[in-house]
Amino acid sequence: MKKVISLLLVATLLTAMLAVSFNALSVSDVDDDGAPIVTSVSEGIAAYEAENEMEPGSLPTQRIYFMMPNGKNGPIATEDVYVHVPEVIDEETGEVIEEAHDDLVLKKGDKSPTWYNDFNILDGKHYAGVYWWGGPAEKDGYWVGYRMEIEDYEQGIYYADIPYDPDDDSASVAVAIFNNGVDGGTDTSKPIYYKAAQTIDTNVQGAYPDDYETTPYGSPDPWSFDNCIYVIDPNQFSVNPFSQKQTCGANWYVYYGDGCYGVEYKEGIGDDTEYPDGTPGWSDNVAEICMNPDHFKNGVHVGYQPDEPDPTEAPKPTEAPKPTQPAPTTHVHNPAAAVAENVKAATCTAEGSYDEVVYCLDCGEEISRTHKTIDKTPHNLTYVPVVAATEEAEGIKAHYKCEDCNKLFSDATGATEVTAADLVIPKLDHQHTLQFKPGKKATETADGWKSHFVCTKCGKYFNNNKAEMELTWDQIVIPKITPTEAPTEAPKPTQAPTEAPKPTQAPTQAPTDPPTPAELLGDVDGDGKVTSTDAVLIQRADVGIITPTADMIRRGDIDGDGKLTIFDTTLIQRFLVGISVSYPINQPIVSSTPH
């Protein structure tokens, strides 16, 4: 039977990962003066008291113990433990890089893997860390929080005096996380990245009876876990499949001292209300109620026994041991889950690639690197409807356009690529619809024109109703009349001679300059450019969804018929896809020519 730890549970338990800094940090780091960067809990409490002008030692605390796994201590797994790894999908391409699977992380009978490593050593000893929030001396700014104090180094037991609220000594810090004093950072190329280990978010406010299976009588103090110990449970062991960091559950027990712990805290198993004084002698039955599996040998409680050399490993008589040169050991790599590096995302026009790399969880050395390719992504196709051809403009066949690479296709699957020329629908043969325009006399203020016929479709001018001869505007226009001055009277004999009459001059009114171009033909919304939005606005006006303003009509009336129609929309759409039109779309609007 195997035990699978769901990643949904793991994700729920990893809320504290939000507190992790971007740069790696550990209890072994020191500043320029050689002082540890990660301070101890006692130093943090002292600094808090000094900052808040409190008497030294006046901040109420609860002493909590933690057994950090060293590979030899703590309970064993009662069954195989697996972690479910979901499929890994490339965020850009949607390609499945790695299929979902279950990884065996602990076998039945195994103890939790060691949290000791080269990055949590200070002054020759490995240290644990503790992080809490929502209470006095909260450690802002970096994970791992504080360095715990050593209670029993050989058994891997550490302690921290976690404070109560100074304004309410019955209320303690609510939640804490125990860790191995290492923040691996975010750089996966550094060995320290894979060395961080931590517990889940842990309640430190105490327990009532039956709150936890391992504290059926509750904690000695129902408002705290004072004199209790948090022991990693290998059955709750997990590895974050994304960061490769251990994240483990644990159980609370009453701590009796010397590494002994259990569920009872009343002498005589509930008959005596005396609280233990923290030493093995507080009760005569500690050996009977101790639950530390490391303290038993052949079913008998013997307390902690240091490891003794195995006599079967004595050197052979012919091979005297060399005391100054210990026998070399062969390191066996402990492979972590594969990670993707040098990822090059695939596109709809080119394959992507990545390196699948496996590192050793223990030494951080690269074990293998495999280059893999990622298939091209499908085209991101948008349907472009047909644009019908007219007598004045070519049409466009219905097709599909990729929004990523701008290529054109004739089918919805993107299998058949076409060019813009392939999509052109030829113009329709033009049939003139002629309208007679009677002549108009010119005046001093406006041009006139000769009688003629004009096509209401294409706007061209003709001499008769059979369109036998096309005319230009210059052939039709009658220039406006230039006024002349009245003649000057002859000079009278008695008067001084008058100046010779000046030649007739043109009207003194200066010709009107053409208006300065300020608007673009086709720019219906007036944003300074012609876009598909302008075509949509004309369509909405044509079907009565919106009422166009005079400015909108002036800018959007491409064919000059005085209104916004679907023909104007068609002309703009052709212009936007690069099909030549005979109207000056996207050019300044200067004046209107009378027809």
The pTM score is 0.50
**pLDDT band at residue 544, thresholds of 50, 70 and 90?**
confident
Q: What is the pLDDT of residue 500?
A: 54
Residue 527, SS3 per DSSP: coil
Sequence ranges of the domains in the chain: 2-300, 339-374, 381-425, 518-595
Q: What is the pLDDT of residue 7?
A: 39
State the pairing for strand pair 197-199/246-248.
Answer: parallel
pLDDT-above-90 percentage for the chain:
30
Per the structure block, which two tokens stand in for 452?
Answer: 């003629």
Q: What is the pLDDT of residue 6?
A: 40
Say whether pLDDT at 5 is over 90: no
- Is residue 390 a contact partner of residue 371, using CB atoms and an 8 Å limit? no
**pLDDT band at residue 498, thresholds of 50, 70 and 90?**
low
Give mean pLDDT, residues 207-213: 87
Give mean pLDDT, residues 456-471: 88
Residue 535, SS3 per DSSP: helix
Q: What is the pLDDT of residue 381?
A: 94
Give mean pLDDT, residues 10-38: 63
Distance set, CA 92 to CA 4, 21, 377, 407 (Å): 30, 26, 9, 19
Give mean pLDDT, residues 343-365: 91
Q: What is the pLDDT of residue 486?
A: 61
pLDDT in tens, 367-425: 999 999 999 999 999 999 999 988 778 899 999 999 999 999 999 999 999 999 999 99
Say whether pLDDT at 304 is over 50: yes
pLDDT in tens, 112-146: 989 999 888 999 999 999 998 877 888 765 678 89
CATH of 518-595 among 1.20.1090.10, 3.30.565.10, 3.40.50.720, 1.10.1330.10: 1.10.1330.10
In this structure, the number of other CB atoms found within 10 A of the CB of residue 99 comes to: 9
Among residues 299, 306, 301, 309, the alpha carbon closest in space to that of 280 is found at 301
Q: What is the pLDDT of residue 282?
A: 47
Say whether pLDDT at 263 is over 50: yes
Can you tell me the distance from the alpha carbon of 66 to that of 153, in angstroms, rounded to the nearest whole number?
A: 11
Q: What is the pLDDT of residue 184?
A: 81
Q: What is the 3-state secondary structure (H, E, C) of 75-131?
A: CECCCEEEEEECCEECCCCCCEEECCEEEEEECCCCECCCCCCCCCEECCEECCEEE
Q: Average model confidence (pLDDT) for the chain? A: 81
Give mean pLDDT, residues 540-556: 88
Q: What is the pLDDT of residue 83?
A: 80
Q: What is the pLDDT of residue 405?
A: 94
**pLDDT band at residue 504, thresholds of 50, 70 and 90?**
low
Q: What is the pLDDT of residue 377?
A: 93
**pLDDT band at residue 20, thresholds of 50, 70 and 90?**
very low
Distance set, CA 573 to CA 386, 396, 536, 543 (Å): 11, 9, 10, 18
